[in-house]
Structure 1
Amino acid sequence: MARNPARRAALLDAAIEVLADEGARGLTFRAVDARAAVPTGTASNYFTDRDQLLSQVAERIFVRLTPEAGSVDTAMAPEPSRELVVELMQWMARRLTAQRSCYLGLFELRLEATRRPDLRARLTEVLKSDLDANIRLHLTAHMPGDADTVRLLYFALTGLLMDHLTVPGMHDERALDSIIEMVVRRVVPER
């Protein structure tokens, strides 16, 4: 198996684009090779099978969606308040929509996970860990609300981004930021 980390990352990035554009059924080694503009057969030198490719695509998506070091601390610096939660949720939505292919790829992986138990187990583990980390961060920062507040915000943002990225006219062209503000004001208690 080939070991060039830069080439592997490029292949995984190409796979994310294929997944976002063509869905899980379109994710083939040949499609990845074509998107990465590498010779046919290159992807099969890096991944033993489609399951390994899907698993590593999932890991690459989470790497790309992880905020830069220090950016969360900077975002959390102001005094905890409902207004800060609005700003944080809007910041998160901007980051995720800027990585449109990653987020759409994640939706595709979620669907594929309904048919692949190993992928489902891995996604469940990573998504649950991420949600748990967000809950801990919220509580440790003494933000208004509790763990269920964070869960509700997670559900709202996940659904909102799915609509925003897949059926953008769904919400009467309302700005994403204004919808997020409305959700936070209704879910997060005042201090």
Structure 2
Amino acid sequence: MVQNPERRTVLADAAIEVLARDGARGLTFRAVDGQAGVPAGTASNYFASRNALLAQAAERIHVRLRPDDATVAEMLRTRPAPSPGVLERELTAMYHRLAGQQTDYLALLELRLEAIRRPEVRASLTATMRANLERNIAAHRESGLPGDDVDVVLMYLALSWLIIENLTLPGVLDGYDADRLITALTELVAARDHPRGHVRVEP
């Protein structure tokens, strides 16, 4: 059967919305059809199994989380000379952008849990997230900003868990301002980049 790629994307987006709202147990073909506003049976025509639907959602999730090409191009065009201050501003902006995408992060958490039990979902989500991390590492290398590949991985882990913690259990970090934590993280990266001394982040 010939399938419409745009309809397939709509169904994957609907699956992400259902995952965020109802959890993995609530992800059924019927629920996805209802969320997408398509006739009953549409999702099952596009995906051979629930695992296939989950794998497609895993591939789609980081497309939704990434900024669009126009936003990236404008950021690169207006980026000042590399410095710890620029790194801090970009990390802070990234944190607030991603923290605002609660639906996608909740769905991603559900997909992570499903990946433990479902090899197809694990393979799809691993490939997607690994590719995203490698893009971030490559972009950081080209930027000239402080930090090496290991620092990029550490920043990825720190920001990811900061978002998850504040999204799911905000009381754990009560009293710890996210922006101040990101400033401290940037200072640590800058200090590693200049091992002879601690480098303050300029405003």
Q: Could you state the TM-score of these two structures normalised by the residue count of structure 1?
A: 0.89
Alignment of 1:15-164 (within 5 A): 15-76=15-76, 77-164=79-166
In structure 1, list runs of 5 or more residues that go unmatched: none
Q: d(CA) in 2 for partners of 1:54 and 1:3? A: 18
How far the C-alpha of 1:44 sits from its partner, in A, is 1.0
Deviations 1:36-88 (A, max 9, x none): 23332221122111111011111221221221114234334211111111111
The answer to which of 37-46 and 111-120 deviates more is 37-46
> Over aligned residues, Cα RMSD in angstroms?
2.0
Q: Which moved more, 1:66-75 or 1:79-88?
A: 66-75
Aligned to 2:198: none
The answer to whether the 8 A contact 2:52-2:120 is kept is: no
- Amino acid in the other structure paired with 1:142: G
SS in 2 for 1:121: helix
CA distance in 2, matches of 1:81, 1:39: 53
Whether the 8 Å CA contact 2:11–2:43 is kept in 1: the answer is: yes
Question: What residue identity is the alignment partner of 1:35?
Answer: Q
Match for 1:86: what amino acid? E
The corresponding residue for 2:200 is none
How far off is 1:173 after superposition? 5.1
CA distance in 1, matches of 2:153, 2:16: 27
Gaps of 5+ in 2: 195-203
Q: 1:121 to 1:82 in 2, by over 3 A?
A: same
Letter of the aligned partner of 1:137 in structure 2?
Answer: A
Shift of residue 15 of structure 1? 0.9
Q: Which amino acid aligns with 2:144?
A: H
- State the AA in 2 paired with 1:123: L
Alpha-carbon distance between aligned partners in 2 of 1:109 and 1:2, rounded to the nearest angstrom: 28
SS of the aligned residue for 1:48 comes to coil
* SS of match in other structure, 2:69: coil
**Partners of 2:51 and 2:96 in 1: CA distance:** 31
* Aligned counterpart in structure 2 of residue 183 of structure 1, from 172, 182, 185: 185
- Tell which structure's C-alpha radius of gyration is larger: 2
